[in-house]
Structure 1
Amino acid sequence: MRPNPRRALIVIDVQNEYVTGQLPIEYPDINLSLANIGRAMDAARAAGIPVVVVQNSAPAGSPVFAKGSVGWELHAVVSERPHEHHVEKTLPSAFAGTDLAAWLKRNEVDTITIVGYMTHNCDDSTVRDALHAGLAVDFLADAAGSLPYDNRAGHATAEEIHRIFTVVMHSRFAAVATTDEWIAALHSGEMLPRDNIFASNQRARGLLAAR
C-alpha cells in the first residue's frame, strides 16, 4: 500500500437478490457480512473516505437482477447510508463499461477497499481490474460472501469458494483482512499486511514459516 494512501470504499452489489432473492449468500453468514458492510461504510464516513456504491443490472424479464425488481434494489444496509458515487454495471467487474476508473482518477484515489458480493465473481473481477489499473486493493473477507455451485466441472460449497478465492487474492491481488483489522488500520495509520505468490507457495511447501 502507498504511504498516505488516498482511499475509496467500493460497495459492490449489496442487493436484495443476495439476501431474500434467488441467489442467497451462504458463507459467511449473510447477517454477519451485512453488518460488517454497514460498519465499513460508517467507518469510511467517519474517516472522510468516499464511498462508491455499485449496483448490478439485468434486462427486464431476467431471472435475477432485473432492473426495477425488488431483487435488483439495493439492500437497506446500503440504501439507508450516504455515498459519494453510484455505479450501475452489467458485467462482473465494477470497472467494465462504467465510469468508475475515471471517477477514481478524478478524485486522485490510489487505494480501494472492496466489500459486497460475490467474493468469487464481481468482487474478484473488480480486484483484478483494479490491480491491473495500478491501484492498491484491500478486500474485507467478512464483509463479502459466496454461494455454492454445482455444474459439469464439479461441486463446491460456498465456504470452499470463499476461502479459496480469498487465499488466492491475498497471494498477489489484494490485502485480505477482516473489517475489524481494516478499521484499526484506519485509526492507526498502519498498512494492512500484504503477501506474494512466492512466499505463499513457500509456506504451503513447508519451506517458509507460517504467518
Structure 2
Amino acid sequence: MPAPRRALIVIDVQNEYFTGNLPIEYPDPGVSLANINRAVDAAEAHGIPVVIVQHLAPAQSPIFARGSAGAELHPSIAGRPRALLVEKAMASAFAGTELGAWIEKEGIDTLTIVGYMTHNCDDSTIKHARHAGLALEFLNDASGSLPYENRAGAATAEEIHRVFTVVLQSSFAAVLSTDEWLAILENGEPPVRENIYVSNQKARQGR
C-alpha cells in the first residue's frame, strides 16, 4: 500500500473555547491544546502540510464575532507555519471554503483532524470528507467538547465527547490518541479502522 498523503487540519483553536463564551470542558483544554501543538510539531517534522481553520461569525454574534478577541486564533496556534488558512462560517471546514479544491490540488488522500469541537465542527468536517472519499484520522485527546442542555435533554461534555468518538470509530474515522498518531508516523503502520457491524457485534458480545 502506498504511504498516505496526509494533511493535518487544525479546527477552530480560538480564544472562544478558552477565555470566551464557549469554554471546552472535556478533555482538559490545557491537555488537548498541548496535544494539538504536539501534532503540529510532528506534522512539520514529517513534511505533512498543516491547515489552520478559523470560524468567524457576524459582528453581532455572541460567539466568534468577527473582530472580537474570542474569534482570534489561540496565541499558541496563531503564529504557527501553515500551508493554508481557511475561514469558515459553517460547521464543516469544507462548506463554502477553498479546502476541498486545495486538497484535490495537493493530492491529499488522508486528513488528520484536531481541534474543536468534537461533536460539531470536527464531526461535520470528518463526515463531509468521508463522503468525498477521503480517509480520516481523529485525535481524541487533541479535541474536546462542552456540555449541552436543551428541550431534548442534557449531556455532559465527557458524555458527548465519548459517544461521538465511539460513533466516529464505527464508520467514519480512525480514532487515535496523539501518542498513537505520532507512533504511526514513525513506523508507517496503518491505524485500526472498524465498521458498524463489528462495533455492534463487540457491544452485543460484551453484555
TM-score under structure 1 length normalisation: 0.96
Q: Cα offset for 1:3?
A: 3.2
What is the distance in 2 between the residues matched to 1:42 and 1:80? Answer: 13
What is the distance in 1 between the residues matched to 2:140 and 2:76? Answer: 17
> Displaced runs of 4+ in structure 1, greater than 3 A?
none
2:81 partner amino acid: P
- 1:27-57, Cα deviation, whole Å (9 max, x unpaired): 0000000000000000000000000000000
**Which residue of 2 is the match for residue 65 of structure 1?**
64
Aligned positions of 1:17-28 closer than 5 A: 17-28=16-27
**Which residue of 1 is the match for residue 99 of structure 2?**
100
Alignment CA distance shift 1:42-1:203 (3 Å): same
Report the secondary structure of 1:205's partner residue: helix
**Which residue of 1 is the match for residue 193 of structure 2?**
194
Is the aligned partner of 1:161 residue 2:160?
yes
What is the distance in 2 between the residues matched to 1:29 and 1:132? Answer: 31
What is the distance in 2 between the residues matched to 1:14 and 1:195? Answer: 28
**Which residue of 1 is the match for residue 112 of structure 2?**
113
What is the distance in 2 between the residues matched to 1:14 and 1:40? Answer: 13
Q: Cα offset for 1:207?
A: 7.3
Number of residues of Structure 1 aligned to a counterpart in Structure 2: 207
**Which residue of 2 is the match for residue 41 of structure 1?**
40
**Which residue of 1 is the match for residue 52 of structure 2?**
53
Q: Cα offset for 1:127?
A: 0.3
Report the secondary structure of 1:69's partner residue: coil
2:197 partner amino acid: F
TM-score under structure 2 length normalisation: 0.98
Q: Cα offset for 1:81?
A: 1.4
Q: Cα offset for 1:61?
A: 1.4
- 1:83-106, Cα deviation, whole Å (9 max, x unpaired): 110000000000000000000000
Structure 2, gaps ≥5 residues long? none
Report the secondary structure of 2:162's partner residue: helix
Higher deviation after alignment, 78-87 or 114-123: 78-87
Is the aligned partner of 1:203 residue 2:202?
yes
